[in-house]
Amino acid sequence: QGYMALTFDFRGYRESGGDKDIEFMDRDVRASAGFLREQGATGVFLAGASMGGTASLKVASENGVAGVVSLSAPVDFNGLSVKGVRVRVPTLLMAAKDDRGAVTSLEEMVSLGIVGGPGLAQSVVYEGIADHGTRLIVPGAETETAVKERILEFLKANSE
């Protein structure tokens, strides 16, 4: 699709070294955005699932990114929180209707003004499933194609 992409494991997870420090996961997201800029990226979008979505939203509130995509992000997770932040870049929030915690967090982010502003926040809730986070886009997931297409539409609509 012509986009440069970077995936990584948060410190202390899977192949990454160090200790898990959920409260400060936004530091890893901030560093990844900086790395992409060093590689020549001019418009950086952040995307994350579950706690990665929370960390991405937190960084998007402060870091001059082009936009953010969040799948099933909680408002608060083990010390990592977006309460009190204001994301004022294009934002796409996605969740599965039967993942009640994710839907409640999505609704709270909108109602508290964590995300939004005229035309900035979009939310999509997929009916009839309970998948959470990356389970919305794994190969074979009921929502895989729809979620991927929606993300690409969002990127295209908000790219320079």
Neighbouring-strand partners of residue 136: none
In angstroms, the Cα distances linking 132 to 84, 117, 129 are 24, 26, 9
Which pLDDT score is estimated for 160?
A: 67
Q: Can you state the angle between helices 51-60 and 26-38, rounded to 10 degrees?
A: 60
Question: DSSP states of 17-55 as a string?
Answer: -S---GGGTHHHHHHHHHHHHHTT-SS-EEEEETHHHHH
Strand, coil or helix: 124: strand
Q: pLDDT tens, 54-110? A: 999 999 998 689 999 999 999 999 999 999 999 999 999 999 999 999 999 999 999
pTM of the model: 0.93
Neighbouring-strand partners of residue 121: 91
